[in-house]
Amino acid sequence: MPSSQEGIFRVPGDIGQQLSFRTEITDYYTLDAVDDLHVLLLLMKLSLRELCDPLVPSEMYNECTHSAF
């Protein structure tokens, strides 16, 4: 049964806060100032997109997506 609640990765975080917190994390390596879950998850998604190598190797992508269902 599908949930009627919006997923945490689907709700966008505030871009202004994201830029501010990203600088703070880069400069001070702390997440103490991040009090918005959606901004924190936006930062995580952006960091994952910037990886040189994907988190899931392309040859394992189909296997991983099929095993999730």
Quick one: average pLDDT of 1-27?
A: 67
| pLDDT tens digits, one per residue of 18-39 | 777 777 777 776 777 677 777 7
Unique residue bearing structure tokens 């919006």:
6
- Does the structure show a pLDDT above 60 at 58? yes
Cα–Cα distance measured from residue 55 to residue 49, given in angstroms and rounded to the nearest whole number: 9
Residue 49 has pLDDT above 80, yes or no: yes
pLDDT category, 44, cuts 50, 70, 90? confident
Contact status, residue 62 vs residue 39, Cβ threshold 8 Å? no
